[in-house]
Amino acid sequence: MANLLYVSSSPRGDRSVSQAIAGAYADAWRTRNPAGGVDILDVWTEDLPEFGPDALAAKYAGLAGEPLSAGQQRAWDALKAIAKRFHDADVVLIAAPMWNFGVPYKLKQLIDLISQKDILFRFDENGFDGMLKGKKGVLALARGISYGPGEATSEEEFDFQKSYLLMWLKFVGITDVETIVAEKTLLGPEADAAARETGIAKARELGAR
Ligand SMILES: Cc1cc2nc3c(=O)[nH]c(=O)nc-3n(C[C@H](O)[C@H](O)[C@H](O)COP(=O)(O)O)c2cc1C
């Protein structure tokens, strides 16, 4: 049975463009995989633990090969349980709005929690090795303005949303990635509607494959 993990990171609910696109992908995927499971991880409603002193100390203790205290172990087990949802998935779908040229801090919190050695990647003298190999990634991204080539806000210079998420997926081993980008969602109702429509159509097509 195939599993889709849908990570949602906009708090805009029904008005969210990234969620509308990712939702269309998930619906098409469900139709294509009727026996499949869909796990929804909404970073705004999920009770994400802080990556605080215990988790941090556990990380460094683990790197040094030292035993963990009870509190550190609890913090480590909590983030491991979240990371397991990524291991259990065949497809990792991430819906993300652009916030200040990057991703919402709650999505970054999730990434900071789970990006751990021997949980999502291995690390030795040869470098990093992602542990989520063989999975498919799908990014459903929304931005208020445009980042086309030659624009004052070119992707090359201003985009820390798509580039960051693609880099992170690659880091954890996911290299087969489809990206759907909806731009100009803040440039009036017509531009917003057009961006949604185009994004949703592409998502339906990709999800049905
Ligand atoms: C806190 C915040 C910061 C934003 N920063 C940017 C930005 O840096 N660049 C941009 O193009 N749009 C920016 N926007 C606009 C959103 O990216 C845009 O409204 C997008 O459609 C949001 O996705 P959503 O509808 O899925 O929430 C920002 C919106 C918010 C709420």
Give 148-187 pLDDT, tens digit per residue.
988 999 999 999 999 999 999 999 999 999 999 999 999 9
State how far the Cα of 84 lies from the Cα of 81, in Å rounded to an integer: 5
pLDDT at residue 150 in the model: 86
Whether 119 contacts 131, CB under 8 Å: yes
Q: What mean pLDDT, rounded, does the chain reach?
A: 97
Nearest CA residue ID for atom 8, ligand 1: 100
97 lines ligand 1 (CB under 6 A): yes
State how far the Cα of 10 lies from the Cα of 115, in Å rounded to an integer: 21
CB-hemisphere CA count at 13 Å for 202? Answer: 18
Q: How far, in Å, from the CA of 48 to the mean position of ligand 1? A: 22
145 lines ligand 1 (CB under 6 A): yes
Domain ranges of the chain: 3-207
pLDDT score of 205 more than 90: yes
9 lines ligand 1 (CB under 6 A): no
Q: In the CATH hierarchy, which top-level class contains the domain 3-207?
A: alpha beta
Nearest CA residue ID for atom 15, ligand 1: 144
Question: Strand ranges (DSSP E) for 125-175?
Answer: 127-130, 136-142
Q: How far, in Å, from the CA of 134 to the mean position of ligand 1? A: 31
Take residue 71 and report the two structure tokens written for it: 């509190």
Q: How far, in Å, from the CA of 44 to the mean position of ligand 1? A: 16
83 lines ligand 1 (CB under 6 A): no
pLDDT score of 90 more than 90: yes
16 lines ligand 1 (CB under 6 A): yes
Average pLDDT over residues 102-127: 96
Average pLDDT over residues 121-131: 95
105 lines ligand 1 (CB under 6 A): no
Q: Is the pTM of this model over 0.95?
A: yes
pLDDT at residue 81 in the model: 98
3-state helix, strand, coil split of the chain in percent (to 5) is: 45, 20, 35
pLDDT at residue 46 in the model: 97
State how far the Cα of 200 lies from the Cα of 30, in Å rounded to an integer: 15
Choose between 120 and 150: higher pLDDT. 120
pLDDT score of 1 more than 90: no
Share of the chain above pLDDT 70, in %: 100
Burial class of residue 156 in the structure, from the number of CB atoms within 10 Å of its CB (0-12 exposed, 13-18 middle, 19+ buried): exposed
Q: What is the DSSP letter of 139?
A: E
State how far the Cα of 22 lies from the Cα of 31, in Å rounded to an integer: 14
In the sheet where 91-97 sits, what is the strand order?
Answer: 37-42, 3-8, 91-97, 136-142, 176-182
Q: How far, in Å, from the CA of 144 to the mean position of ligand 1? A: 5
User: Which tens digit of pLDDT belongs to each residue from 5-56?
Assistant: 999 999 999 999 999 999 999 999 999 999 999 999 999 999 999 999 999 9
98 CA: nearest ligand 1 atom: 17
